[in-house]
Chains A and B, each alone.
Chain A
Amino acid sequence: MSKQDLYFKEIENLQHSKSFLEEGKYTQNELKNEFKTLYDNYEDILGQIKIITRISDRLQRRLDKTNDKLNEKNTELQKTISELVKTRISRKATTIVFIVAIALFLIVEAVIEPYIESYTNFYTALFIKLLIALMIKPAEMLLEHSFMKRERKRKVNTNERKD
């Protein structure tokens, strides 16, 4: 045990007592003095044990509290990330549907409508346009659902790779 050790003093005291015991011959007074030293050391160590145990328990309690807080923050963060992903996907789906809707509208206006007007009436053209308009929302929802499914699958794959 080197002098660099945290328990150097205690080890030294113990070795002193051991050496004394091994001597074998001692007077009553020497015994009394040695017992007093041993008692003092014991009292000192007991005090140390008491305080170190209490501090250690308290540190554990503090670590548990910090860990709980960390888990709580992590859950909040995961929730925020999920919401962000959902918003991003929703925006992407809206953009795609909007572009497709404009394209369809242009196709209807430029190609289908002149054809309809030649062969059918005004109400049929109106019905087709209405149908396109009504299809926008369900198409957006379908697209969103599909993107979310793909995102979840990607997340599972990433987690599996991490494990």
Chain B
Amino acid sequence: MELLKIESTKQTPEIDFNNKTGVLLIRGRSMSENSFEFFKEVNLWIEEYLNSPVEETIVKIHLEYFNTSSSKCILEIFKKLKKINDIQDKNINIKWFYDEDDEEMMETGEDYQDITDLPFEILIANE
């Protein structure tokens, strides 16, 4: 299994998934009209990763903006990753970052936390 690295563009986020460290990073903005197509590769990688995840998977998400279709894709990612919790001795933590003045993104993180029931940390981004 290889690392998944996708550079960010004006419309798509940076993806940096590392199966060795278990750190999965999504950062930037996701406003592509065809977000399903973009996240397809991400979903395929996750499906493969679910076969042998590390002890603790950390998902870091720092999005400044995403459109409605991306919000569904992100939800799908969370649902897939939730399966890690069903594997013995494996767990997952979500670190949801938001910019200090971005109240909306903070609330969005809270919504995802409510609906997915995953362990979320909602944090102010320092960078």
**A residues at B contact (CB < 8 Å):** 4-6, 47-48, 50-52, 54-56, 58-59, 61-62
> Does any Cβ of A come within 8 Å of B35's Cβ?
yes
* B-chain residues with CB within 8 Å of residue A48 when the two chains form the complex: 72, 75
Q: A51-B111, A51-B112, A54-B111 are in contact. Are A4 and B36 (CB under 8 A)?
A: yes
Contact with B67, one of A47, A50, A54, A59 (Cβ below 8 angstroms): A59
Interchain nearest-CB distance for A45 vs B (Å): 11
Q: B68 and A52: CB pair below 8 A?
A: yes
Q: A59 and B68: CB pair below 8 A?
A: yes
Residue on A nearest B39 in the bound complex, by CB: A6
Q: A6-B35, A47-B115, A50-B115 are in contact. Are A55 and B108 (CB under 8 A)?
A: yes
The 9 residue pairs across chains A and B that have the minimum distance between CB atoms: A6-B36, A55-B71, A58-B104, A56-B68, A47-B115, A62-B104, A51-B115, A51-B111, A54-B111
* A-chain residues with CB within 8 Å of residue B115 when the two chains form the complex: 47, 50-51
* A-chain residues with CB within 8 Å of residue B75 when the two chains form the complex: 48, 51-52
Within 8 A of A (CB), among B41-66: 65
> Does any Cβ of A come within 8 Å of B4's Cβ?
no
**B residues at A contact (CB < 8 Å):** 35-37, 40, 65, 67-69, 71-73, 75, 104, 107-108, 111-112, 115
Contact with A55, one of B35, B36, B111 (Cβ below 8 angstroms): B111
Interface contacts (Cβ under 8 Å), in number, total 42
* B-chain residues with CB within 8 Å of residue A4 when the two chains form the complex: 36-37, 40
Q: Could you tell me the dominant secondary structure of chain A's interface residues? A: helix
A62 to B108, CA, bound (A): 12
Q: A52 and B71: CB pair below 8 A?
A: yes
Residue on B nearest A8 in the bound complex, by CB: B36
Residue on B nearest A66 in the bound complex, by CB: B65
* A-chain residues with CB within 8 Å of residue B36 when the two chains form the complex: 4-6
Q: List 20 A-B contacts (CB under 8 A).
A: A4-B37, A5-B36, A6-B35, A6-B69, A6-B72, A51-B71, A51-B111, A51-B115, A52-B72, A52-B75, A54-B108, A54-B111, A55-B111, A56-B71, A58-B104, A59-B67, A59-B104, A61-B104, A62-B65, A62-B104
Q: B72 and A58: CB pair below 8 A?
A: no
Q: A5-B36, A55-B108, A55-B111 are in contact. List 15 more A-B contacts (CB 8 A).
A: A4-B37, A6-B69, A6-B72, A50-B111, A51-B112, A51-B115, A52-B68, A52-B72, A54-B108, A56-B68, A56-B71, A59-B68, A61-B104, A62-B65, A62-B104
A54 to B75, CA, bound (A): 13
Residue on B nearest A54 in the bound complex, by CB: B111
Interchain nearest-CB distance for A100 vs B (Å): 55
* B-chain residues with CB within 8 Å of residue A55 when the two chains form the complex: 68, 71, 108, 111
